[in-house]
Chains A and B, each alone.
Chain A
Amino acid sequence: MLVLGGIALSFNRGTNAEVRALQALDLTVEDGEFIVLLGQNGSGKSTLLNAIAGRFAPDAGRIVLNGTEITDWSEHRRASLIGRVFQDPFTGTVASMTIAENFALASKRGLSRGLSPAVTEPLREEITRRIRLLGLGLEGRIDSPIGLLSGGQRQALTLLMATWRKPDLLLLDEHTSALDPKSAELVLRLSRELIATDRITTLMVTHSLPEATNLGDRLIMMHRGRIVNDIRGGEKSRLRPRELAGWFEELRQIEQLDESAAALLERTYV
């Protein structure tokens, strides 16, 4: 279970350009829950993921994962509990190293790394077996550099690497948005399968409305660093993209109203 309490995070604090990316955000994620985070650019969804992963330190608030407070843990230490897939398909793997070597790195996520040979015969067999399950036909190429593969193939393998040792929490940061439609579909299918098989607690960021409606069992909409909608259970499964688009339109109108009101006030008083 992941508990976020009062998470606040600002960029450029104390300057004119201050951006309040997260504003006293509370969120509880149950074990095995698959949450989709939806929001426009700048809504704070990726910042939230990075705050949980430890890339950005929050200005206030606590992060508790499975009963352990990890607020002060470094990014690499948190990686012992958290698996991640990034937006850029080239970020998740080391291009010049072979598929097997990349998986050897992943096989030790959060464990101490010794001076024993990394790519052993049992590990190769396990890699081959699990890559075969993906159905990409890559099981015969585990000794070629991973950089020779397409973005979609690399992202699929990154996903398998992130879940190689079952993480307490899986963070997917718009992990299909840089892929062509066919690869995106493939990576989404694999995500759904891997998450369901191991019942992995997952937070997935997206700005695709169809993805948000089709995937996960809880939908959280973010706007300006706050959670504005939290839909789960039956309501989530009945949700349609058209409905979500309507909500976004509503938010946009409120915002425009806000800005014109602000302009009016400024004209009157400044």
Chain B
Amino acid sequence: MIMILMAVTTGLLFSLLALGVFISYRIFDFPDLTVEGSFITGASLTLVLITGGMHPVLATLLGTLGGTCAGAITGALHAAFSISRLLSGIIVMTALFTVNLYILGPGGTIIIMDATSLSGMAETAALSLFSPGLQADLDAMHLFPKDIVIFFSLLVIVGLAVLFLRRFFATHVGLAIRATGENDKMVRAMGINVNVVVVLGLALANTLAALSGGLWAQVLSSVDMRSGSGMIVTGLTSVILGQALFSRARFRTQILGVVLGAVLIRLLISLILMTGVPSEVDKLLQAAFLVLALVLPRTLQKRRAAQAVR
């Protein structure tokens, strides 16, 4: 029970990152490696600000802005200087390594007191909301009241993010972003500055990645700067799995598909880890899933096409 709850919670945390990757990869066809850095930038800025005594909500918002800036720089490198998509991301990712180290201090890692972060607020909320009887019941199931509150809060946050993105991509600016990824020639003829759109889109994508990092670090009450590696794979796997689940769906349904993809991946990994596989293989599993997610739909499509011919 606790394994499933933790898996879904982690999935929800990473779903924000996946939504960011959905914007850069799916809309712009931009495999944006910036997220490897901006996820940690969001996490470390948030925790350092909390350590400095800032209110966790404000700290999370400011931490998120770190990602916004990083994404905007990647977009600007590509748009203004025609540096390739992959390389622009690599450049900013590398630069962020130093930035993150500077934020976190020499050790490159930071641990905070639970009580000062959003985790602490969840704990307080759980204690005042849940009756002693309920708390005893949860205890019997080996569940912490705090984790229940975190889970539901994340449901709300991710739900709001999905709603926001659905609304945003139906506005004039949102339509311009979607159109740019698919047909930039038409977009220019409609008077849209493609460069501005790319900067905006990547800024938004990395805002979500940093928010994901900031919340994730607060749930763990710690951040280590190396834990950002492989984030692009986590995001891509969720996006591609989401696509596979909702291949023919409308754009707004695809957004929801990404969240489901992120949660499913974490559930799968948990199931595999439950069989006693050591937890270090997490990243290896993710890489393998990404290969599967990339290859399987194509193979199935080919087989289907072959059957149709017959």
Question: How many inter-chain contacts with C-beta < 8 Å in the A-B complex?
Answer: 85
Set of chain B residues within 8 Å of A92, measured between Cβ atoms: 186, 189
Q: Are B183 and A104 in contact (CB under 8 A)?
A: no
A95 at the interface (CB under 8 A from B): yes
Q: Are A91 and B191 in contact (CB under 8 A)?
A: no
Interface window among A61-69, A116-124, A177-185, A234-242? A116-124
Which of B172, B174, B182, B188 meets A75, CB within 8 Å? B188
Residue in B closest to A95 when the chains form the complex, CB atoms: B182
Chain B: residues with Cβ within 8 Å of the partner, total of 24
B266 at the interface (CB under 8 A from A): no
Set of chain A residues within 8 Å of B189, measured between Cβ atoms: 53, 75, 79, 83-84, 86, 92, 162
Set of chain A residues within 8 Å of B186, measured between Cβ atoms: 91-94
Interface window among A105-113, A193-201, A202-210, A261-269? A105-113
Set of chain B residues within 8 Å of A79, measured between Cβ atoms: 188-192
- How many Å lie between the Cα of A92 and that of B183 in the bound state? 8
Which of A91, A108, A118, A162 meets B174, CB within 8 Å? A118
Residue in A closest to B193 when the chains form the complex, CB atoms: A76
Q: Are A105 and B188 in contact (CB under 8 A)?
A: no
Q: Is the interface of A mostly helix, strand, loop or mixed?
A: loop
Chain A nearest Cβ from B150, distance in angstroms: 31
Q: Which of B173-207 contact A (CB under 8 A)?
A: 173-176, 178-179, 182-183, 185-194
A115 at the interface (CB under 8 A from B): yes
Q: Are A76 and B175 in contact (CB under 8 A)?
A: no
Chain B 155-172, CB within 8 Å of chain A: the 1/0 string? 000000000000110111
A96 at the interface (CB under 8 A from B): yes
A101 at the interface (CB under 8 A from B): yes
Chain B nearest Cβ from A126, distance in angstroms: 15
Chain A nearest Cβ from B250, distance in angstroms: 9
- How many Å lie between the Cα of A94 and that of B188 in the bound state? 12
Chain B nearest Cβ from A174, distance in angstroms: 15
B251 at the interface (CB under 8 A from A): yes
Q: Are B188 and A108 in contact (CB under 8 A)?
A: no
A114 at the interface (CB under 8 A from B): yes
Set of chain B residues within 8 Å of A95, measured between Cβ atoms: 182-183
- How many Å lie between the Cα of A84 and that of B172 in the bound state? 20
- How many Å lie between the Cα of A258 and that of B168 in the bound state? 61
Residue in A closest to B183 when the chains form the complex, CB atoms: A94
Chain A positions near chain B (C-beta within 8 angstroms)? 53, 74-77, 79-80, 83-84, 86, 91-97, 101, 104-106, 108-111, 113-119, 162
- Of the A-B pairs whose beta carbons lie under 8 Å apart in the complex, a sample of 27, sorted by A's number, is A76-B191, A76-B194, A79-B189, A83-B189, A91-B186, A93-B186, A94-B182, A94-B183, A95-B182, A97-B178, A97-B179, A97-B251, A104-B172, A105-B179, A108-B172, A109-B190, A109-B191, A111-B191, A113-B171, A113-B175, A113-B176, A114-B171, A114-B173, A115-B171, A116-B171, A118-B170, A118-B172
Pairs of residues from A and B, 5 with the lowest C-beta to C-beta distance, nearest first: A79-B191, A113-B172, A110-B191, A94-B179, A84-B189
Given contacts A79-B189, A162-B189, list 12 more A-B pairs with CB under 8 A: A76-B192, A76-B193, A79-B191, A92-B189, A105-B175, A108-B172, A108-B190, A109-B190, A113-B173, A115-B173, A118-B172, A118-B174
